């Protein structure tokens, strides 16, 4: 059974930092693209970041460029999201996602991913 488990969320003041982790189990994703999305109450799921299998290509949503960094450790089957200069608008549930196909596609939309974690809450206070 494939599982993605996020951790690292919490409450932080504006300007602060958090590092999210997402550990996969049940299969390896070392050759698959991985991504982060977020969803705030009453809003659609929003693309945050994605990374290809080797870590050579990274993509970011416009609202997080320059503040967030995605990385991965294939030996640990884990993807990370380092978040700096957090603002209240970053408040959301953050979900990690894994693409089922081991190809070169790095999706920036949710339908490009087959496996999802349950999410971790990030709350940024002003």
The SS3 of residue 42 is coil
> What's residue 106's pLDDT?
97
3-state secondary structure at position 94: strand
Residues 6+ apart with CB under 8 A from 69: 58, 81, 82, 84
Per-residue model confidence (pLDDT) at position 121: 98
Burial grade of 84 (CB within 10 A; 0-12, 13-18, 19 or more): middle
Q: What is the pLDDT of residues 51-103, one digit of tens each?
A: 999 999 999 999 999 999 999 999 999 999 999 999 999 999 999 999 999 99
27-52 pLDDT tens trace: 999 999 999 999 999 999 999 999 99
């Amino acid at each position: 059974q494939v599982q993605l488990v996020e951790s690292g969320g919490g409450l932080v003041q504006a300007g602060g930092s958090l590092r999210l982790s997402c550990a996969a189990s049940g299969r390896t994703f070392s050759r698959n693209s991985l991504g982060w999305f977020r969803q705030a109450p009453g809003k659609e799921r929003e693309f945050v970041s994605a990374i290809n299998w080797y870590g050579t290509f990274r993509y970011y949503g416009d609202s997080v460029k320059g503040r967030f960094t995605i990385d991965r450790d294939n030996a640990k089957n884990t993807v990370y999201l380092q978040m700096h200069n957090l603002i209240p608008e970053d408040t959301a549930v953050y979900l990690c996602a894994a693409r089922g196909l081991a190809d070169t596609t790095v999706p920036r939309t949710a339908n490009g991913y087959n496996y999802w974690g349950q999410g971790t809450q990030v709350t940024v206070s002003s």
